[in-house]
Amino acid sequence: MFGRKLTLLAMVSAAIASGASSSAGIQPGTFTAQGAFPTSLYTNYYNNPTATVSQVQPVISDPVTQKTYPLALTDPDTIPLNNTVDPHPLPPPASPSLVLAHAIAQVQSIATNPIFGNSTCARCQAALEVGKFVALTTPDQGPALVVALCEYFNYSKTCETSYGPLALGPVITQVIANADVGGYDGQSLCQNFLSLCPVPPTSPLNLTSWFAKPKPNPLPPPKTPSGTRLKVLHLSDAHLDPRYATGSESNCTSGLCCRENNVNTASPNRTLAPAPRYGAYLCDTPFSLLTSALESIPPLTGTQDTGFAWTVYTGDLVSHDPDNQLSRDYIMYAETLIYDLFKRLLGSGPVYPALGNHDSYNQAQDAPYSIGGYLASQFSWNYDHVAYLWQHEDWLPEAAVELARAHYAAYMVKRQDGLRVITLNTDLWYRANYFNYINLTYPDTSGMLRFLTDELQDAEDAGDRVWIVGHVLSGWDGTNPMANPSNLFYQIVDRFSPHVIANIFFGHTHEDQLSIFYANNGTNMSAQTAQAVSWIGPSITPLTNLNSGFRVYEVDSATFDIVDAHTWRSEVNTFPALDSQLQYGPTYSYEYNTRQAYGANFTWGPNDPLNATFWHKVTEVMEADPSLVTTFNTYQGKGSVLTPPCTGTCATAKICYIRSGSAPLARQNCPAGYGSVQ
């Protein structure tokens, strides 16, 4: 496909600033990427790769499909209005007997639903009833009904392109055909997408039947630390925008900026803020910023010769295009290009990726296999594609590749050093995935959490430690995951922590955050009951109003605990000044050391892990000294000049979010509205 590993020295145009080295050889300095694009990355280009007036357009060939992606797919001047090649299939027509059975069941469901007295909620669910029978009897008319209702209620200005037969119309038709629209599913649909119903209660769990064995009591003795530290890289949310148009409007009124088709309505015929070559706060990652970031990582982390022990990538490769401008090819293009760049620019050591909500078409949509028939495999093209790409890059063994193909691109890898890495497709608990509104009272319709539980049980039986890697976080402020599956996930983490689960990793928010998991569903939150922690990685993309960043962990080679963590950032507000010259590109600077930033106010040994107990103690210091919340808030936005301050209720909310590992805990306990610095 492409020439392999670039010689890094040929790409370097500036040196690392001097600085004291940590125990793992981390350099707390800066690195400035070269100004000119490294043209040796690719053999062929559709445009002049040395030009600075536009982003490069390399010729990309897919090693899995053997397809060469055309320029029209990524050309900023030819953004499509609709994907006419591969819309989602419609469900099969129902038999008359099935229509009758569903009619009876739905009437019964409405009659027994205690919330039906709420008039707006009742109207919404009654409307869904009409849609259900259309979806069951004449599914080809489902998208037309969705568009007609969208236009009638003025729900969107892009009803046809957003909800027509070439967009989300078939997805919504599938969901309504299979959901209990008169009951819990319908209430949740009306609440999440239309705000017409109250939030339904979290369903009770039967954990006795869920777990094959009770939690060991006493727990197995903890593994003895080796004292040897491994370097592990955490990257997230690259969001490469191959349609980024240098010089276009970077301060557009709506949508994704730095695109030829988006303007500032205050000045539609004149560009107010030309898009810099390396990116802007309202834009996704241009090619030049992605390569600069990856170029910076090895010299900053001292891994030019050794590579990382491994890398976790917590999802989202693709830009934030509206669905009507996406296609399967656009998704596969980003997957092919970015995984290849990881392989060539980050050195040796496997990358363990998880799919993000933007790594799907339509974005955020993944159907449970339980939907049945040919609809169950409608996203298999993507699972097969990424699984074979990961195999092509020599990151996954054959067994993990087959698991990924069969489990929504989720897999388990048992490394030779004794660590198991389990990844999840978190679209299957993401609120924006319409398919999650089928059979909502059951917390694991997809089977993803059954897969996770079984893998954790195998790890416990073998005495192995586990890292869990996903994209959409399970907790924090509770705005992203569904309540029931994130509640079950919390109980799974409790059951297998701290003796099996060493760490959990998410992305999605683009911000630097974390969540603590406690015993007994957080009924007593203390240092003694803290079980596990999820690290939410900073994004490479600046979207929205953030700096670009990445993190490296120091990991004990025996326990697989994180002993220290280091975060770097590049200040996006400096990028406009780089346009007038070719010598220098973006500078990535050392932002902070986690142990030093948060552990100075209580006793914590220099080799003690940064585990859930450590982080609970940090929250106790935050309660006594709100200035530490200010520090956390600054790092949350990666030091962006646009990060707003956090005081008063905001500070209280942030501490509560850190202590919330599930959506129900966040919604029950925490003030709403302070989750993001964007």
Q: Where are the alpha helices (DSSP H) in 113-214?
A: 119-137, 142-152, 159-163, 169-178, 184-194, 207-210
Does the bond joining 32 to the residue before it have cis omega, within 30 degrees of 0?
no
Q: Is 625 annotated as a binding residue?
A: no
Which pLDDT tens digit goes with each residue over 216-253?
Answer: 999 999 999 999 999 999 999 999 999 999 999 999 99
Say if residue 618's pLDDT is above 60. yes
pTM recorded for the entire structure = 0.92
Six-digit token pair at 392? Answer: 């092509």
| 3-state per-residue secondary structure call for 615-659 | HHHHHHHHHHCCHHHHHHHHHHCCCCCCCCCCCCHHHHHHHHHHC
Which of the four pLDDT bands, split at 50, 70 and 90, describes residue 116? low
User: Beta-carbon neighbour count of residue 272 at 10 Å?
Assistant: 12
Instruction: Give percent above pLDDT 90 in the chain.
Output: 84
In the three-class reduction of DSSP (H, G, I as helix; E, B as strand; rest coil), residue 334 is classed as helix
Task: Tell me what pLDDT residue 97 has.
Answer: 78
Name the DSSP letter for residue 524.
S
Q: Is 510 annotated as a binding residue?
A: yes
Say if residue 678's pLDDT is above 80. yes
| 3-state per-residue secondary structure call for 549-601 | EEEEEEEECCCCCEEEEEEEEECHHHHHHHCCCCCEEEEEEEEEEHHHHHCCC
**CATH number of 229-669: 1.20.1250.20, 3.40.50.720, 3.40.50.620, 3.60.21.10?**
3.60.21.10
Task: Tell me what pLDDT residue 117 has.
Answer: 62
For residues 260 and 245, is the Cβ–Cβ distance under 8 A? yes
Q: Is 239 annotated as a binding residue?
A: yes
Task: Tell me what pLDDT residue 113 has.
Answer: 73
Which pLDDT tens digit goes with each residue over 72-82?
Answer: 999 999 898 88
Q: What is the spatial distance between Cα 439 and Cα 330, in angstroms, rounded to a whole number?
A: 31
**Among 349, 367, 261, CA closest to 313:** 349
**Among 247, 306, 295, 305, CA closest to 271:** 247
pLDDT (average), residues 66-92: 90
pLDDT (average), residues 642-649: 97
Task: Tell me what pLDDT residue 22 has.
Answer: 40
pLDDT (average), residues 178-183: 94
Phi, psi of 229 (to 5 degrees): -105, 130
Place of tokens 């007593």: 524
Task: Tell me what pLDDT residue 27 has.
Answer: 64
Long-range CB contacts for residues 122-130, cutoff 8 Å, separation at least 24: 123/196, 124/186, 124/189, 124/190, 124/194, 124/196, 124/197, 125/181, 125/182, 125/186, 125/187, 125/190, 125/197, 128/176, 128/179, 128/181, 128/182, 128/186, 128/189, 128/190, 129/181, 129/182
User: Beta-carbon neighbour count of residue 93 at 10 Å?
Assistant: 14
Instruction: Give percent above pLDDT 70 in the chain.
Output: 94
Q: Is 358 annotated as a binding residue?
A: no
User: Beta-carbon neighbour count of residue 658 at 10 Å?
Assistant: 23
Task: Tell me what pLDDT residue 2 has.
Answer: 37
Which residue did the predictor score with more confidence, 87 or 104?
87
Q: Is 357 annotated as a binding residue?
A: yes
pLDDT (average), residues 192-211: 93
Q: Is 320 annotated as a binding residue?
A: no
Say if residue 189's pLDDT is above 70. yes
pLDDT (average), residues 425-441: 97
pLDDT (average), residues 418-439: 98
In the three-class reduction of DSSP (H, G, I as helix; E, B as strand; rest coil), residue 517 is classed as strand
Six-digit token pair at 529? Answer: 């009951």
The residue extents of the domains of the chain are 96-204, 229-669
Q: Which residues pair with 588 in a beta bridge?
A: 31
**Among 184, 201, 188, CA closest to 112:** 184
Task: Among 56-60, 107-111, 348-352, name the one with the lowest average pLDDT.
Answer: 107-111
Which pLDDT tens digit goes with each residue over 462-521?
Answer: 999 999 999 999 999 999 999 999 999 999 999 999 999 999 999 999 999 999 999 999
Tally of residues, the chain: 678
- Beta strands 229-235 and 548-556: pairing type? antiparallel
Task: Among 33-42, 59-68, 104-113, 289-298, name the one with the lowest average pLDDT.
Answer: 104-113
Task: Tell me what pLDDT residue 1 has.
Answer: 42
Six-digit token pair at 515? Answer: 């969540």
Task: Among 131-135, 171-175, 330-334, name the one with the lowest average pLDDT.
Answer: 131-135
**Helix pair angle (119-137, 142-152), 10° resolution:** 150
Which of the four pLDDT bands, split at 50, 70 and 90, describes residue 119? low
Q: Is 316 annotated as a binding residue?
A: yes
Which pLDDT tens digit goes with each residue over 525-581?
Answer: 999 999 999 999 999 999 999 999 999 999 999 999 999 999 999 999 999 999 988
Phi, psi of 249 (to 5 degrees): -75, 120
User: Residue 609: how many CA atoms within 13 Å on its side-chain side?
Assistant: 25
Which of the four pLDDT bands, split at 50, 70 and 90, describes residue 6? very low
Q: What is the spatial distance between Cα 339 and Cα 535, in angstroms, rounded to a whole number?
A: 22
Task: Tell me what pLDDT residue 100 has.
Answer: 65
Strand order from edge to edge, sheet including 548-556: 30-34, 584-593, 562-570, 548-556, 229-235, 310-313, 351-353
How far lies 465's CA from each of 46, 429, 504, 561, 676, in Å?
47, 24, 12, 9, 32
pLDDT (average), residues 291-317: 96
Percent helix, strand and coil across the chain, each to the nearest 5: 35, 15, 50
Task: Tell me what pLDDT residue 13 has.
Answer: 32
Say if residue 8's pLDDT is above 80. no
Mean pLDDT of the chain: 92
DSSP characters for 191-217? Answer: HHHH--SPPPPPPP--HHHH-SSPPPS
User: Beta-carbon neighbour count of residue 66 at 10 Å?
Assistant: 8
Name the DSSP letter for residue 133.
H
Which of the four pLDDT bands, split at 50, 70 and 90, describes residue 4? very low
How far lies 287's CA from each of 74, 334, 371, in Å?
12, 11, 38
Q: Which helix (H) or strand (E) holds 382?
A: helix 380-392
Six-digit token pair at 421? Answer: 């890495």
